């Protein structure tokens, strides 16, 4: 039986949206995509019971009060309902050790849920010269390199210590808590991936592998394949 994958959704003006790239990526590697509502409460237990894995998708910014900060000028639009829902479902999934793959915003909310923190805006909160992390290129174009930690889950999946990724963000993870580790960084030191050291499959990536699949990029295919296989197991 194919695994059921909960796919998180954006919420704007009472409308749920999710990119078809996420849906098609899950389906392409044998999963059944199930779009999730942004509603907290008793429904979360029932949802977690029925899904085999969780795909945390990209989207808008995250409420900084969740990690003890007030909003800076560089902060964009936030959706408190989505933040609350995703943190609640992440906590349930981690307790049951069910696989999680976080993409861009999904990687950030995953880190916040486990006690990490983040940059509200990397360009105003870091003094070093940064790469263009909000690329001016097609979504399927890989625009900069990442360096992968040898021996990490990401390294095991991709069989590579470095590759190119696309980039569409101005926020990024900063501190990753105990029990988790950074598994990829860009050349300017921005965290590009992190993972759990105690769960079977919990991985967050800052780029968008679902977009890179449009060009049959092998590293992205390996990530989605490994995620779906972990959900089967």
- Would you please indicate which residues are annotated as catalytic (active-site) residues? 104, 208, 210
User: CB–CB of 61/77 below 8 Å?
Assistant: yes
DSSP lists the bridge partners of residue 32 as 4
Residue 76 is given by DSSP the state -
Alpha-carbon Rg for the chain, nearest whole angstrom, is 16
Phi and psi at residue 148, to the nearest 5°: -100, 140
CA distances from 6 to 11, 19, 30, 233 (A): 16, 14, 13, 16
Count of C-beta atoms within a 10 Å radius of residue 145: 15
Phi and psi at residue 154, to the nearest 5°: -60, -40
Query: DSSP H helical segments within 72-217, as ranges?
Result: 80-95, 105-113, 122-125, 153-158, 209-212
Residues contacting 194, CB < 8 A, separation 6+: 107, 111, 173, 176, 180, 181, 182, 183, 203, 204
The rounded distance, in Å, linking the Cα atoms of 91 and 88 is 5
């Amino acid at each position: 039986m194919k695994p059921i994958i909960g796919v998180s959704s954006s919420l704007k003006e009472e409308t749920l949206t999710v990119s078809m790239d996420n849906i098609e990526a899950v389906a392409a590697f044998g999963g059944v995509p199930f779009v999730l509502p942004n509603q907290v409460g008793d429904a979360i237990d029932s949802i977690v019971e029925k899904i085999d894995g969780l795909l945390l998708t990209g989207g808008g910014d995250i409420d900084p009060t969740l990690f003890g900060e007030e909003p800076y000028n560089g902060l964009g639009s936030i959706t408190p309902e989505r933040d609350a829902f995703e943190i609640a479902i992440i906590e349930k999934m981690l307790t049951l050790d069910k696989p999680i793959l976080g993409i861009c915003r999904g990687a950030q909310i995953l880190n916040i849920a486990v006690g990490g923190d983040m940059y509200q805006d990397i360009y105003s909160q870091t003094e070093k010269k940064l790469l263009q992390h909000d690329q001016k290129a097609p979504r399927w174009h890989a625009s900069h390199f990442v360096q992968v930690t040898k021996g990490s889950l990401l390294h095991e999946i991709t069989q590579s210590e470095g590759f190119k990724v696309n980039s569409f963000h101005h926020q990024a993870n900063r501190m990753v808590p105990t029990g988790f580790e950074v598994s990829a960084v860009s050349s300017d030191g921005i965290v590009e991936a992190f993972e759990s050291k105690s769960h079977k499959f919990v991985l967050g990536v800052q780029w968008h592998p679902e977009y890179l699949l449009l060009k049959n990029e092998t590293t992205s295919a390996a990530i989605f394949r490994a995620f779906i296989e972990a959900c089967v197991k």
